[in-house]
């Protein structure tokens, strides 16, 4: 599955919403890239680091989360991260979703109808599937887990029968 290039959208938004401030010497002042297939916890990230007094920052969009979503979700995520970049690099203010972020977000949302930016990315983030079945050897209840865990005891049974203390009589047995 290929993903769409981000640079053209970045240039367009930079002009429309950020008064071209996010470009310097014809280059975006933040790096821009798609993640590999592992970034599944968030749709987008804005990262900055300071090395030897020089600040560099980047926007990473999650390929596994966004590649199958409509364009407006990609636009909304990219624009959200661009606001972070703008607050950080242009306003030079240290805030996350504070008043400056929100003012810009509301402004951009009111300027167009193609996409809406929110503070919480409002689509489901893919979690690792709960694919392991474990059963309490005491009460028999089945629970689903992301991975097999050793020496895990059934919480319910521990609470009911052992004053909340771990006891091997109610270990979870994995298939």
Tell which positions 140-169 bind Zn ion, by CB under 5 A: 154, 157
How many angstroms separate the CA atoms of 97 and 33, rounded? 22
From the CB of 96, what's the least distance to Zn ion, in Å?
6
Residue number, 63 or 84, with CB nearest to Zn ion = 84
User: Binding of Zn ion at residue 78 (CB under 5 A)?
Assistant: no
Q: How far is the CB of 46 from Zn ion (least distance, A)?
A: 7
Select the residue interacting with Zn ion from 136, 153, 171, 172 (CB under 5 A). Answer: 136
Shortest Å, Cβ 2 to Zn ion: 26
Q: CB of residue 3 vs Zn ion: minimum separation in angstroms?
A: 20
Given the complex with Zn ion, which of 30 and 157 has the nearer CB atom? 157
In the bound state with Zn ion, the residue whose beta carbon lies nearer, of 21 and 102, is: 102
Residue 12 and residue 14: Cα distance in Å, rounded?
A: 5
Choose between 108 and 136: whose C-beta lies nearer to Zn ion: 136
How far is the CA of 24 from the CAs of 16, 20, 21, 53, in angstroms?
16, 9, 7, 18
Residue 17: closest CA among 122, 109, 89, 153: 109
Interface ranges with Zn ion (CB under 5 A): 136, 138-139, 154, 157, 170
């Amino acid at each position: 599955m290929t993903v769409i290039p981000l640079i053209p959208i970045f240039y367009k938004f930079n002009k429309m919403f950020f008064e071209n401030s996010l470009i310097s010497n014809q280059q975006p002042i933040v790096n821009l890239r798609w993640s590999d297939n592992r970034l599944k916890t968030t749709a987008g990230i804005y990262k900055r680091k300071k090395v030897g007094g020089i600040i560099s920052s980047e926007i990473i969009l999650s390929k596994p989360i966004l590649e199958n979503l409509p364009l407006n979700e990609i636009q909304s995520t990219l624009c959200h991260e661009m606001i972070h970049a703008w607050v950080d690099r242009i306003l030079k203010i240290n805030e996350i979703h504070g008043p400056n972020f929100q003012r810009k977000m509301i402004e951009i949302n009111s300027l167009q109808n193609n996409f809406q930016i929110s503070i919480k990315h409002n689509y489901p983030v893919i979690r690792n599937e709960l694919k392991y079945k474990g059963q309490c050897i005491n009460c028999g209840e089945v629970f689903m887990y992301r991975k097999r865990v050793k020496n895990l005891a059934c919480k319910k049974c521990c609470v009911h029968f052992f004053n909340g203390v771990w006891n091997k009589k109610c270990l979870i047995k994995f298939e």
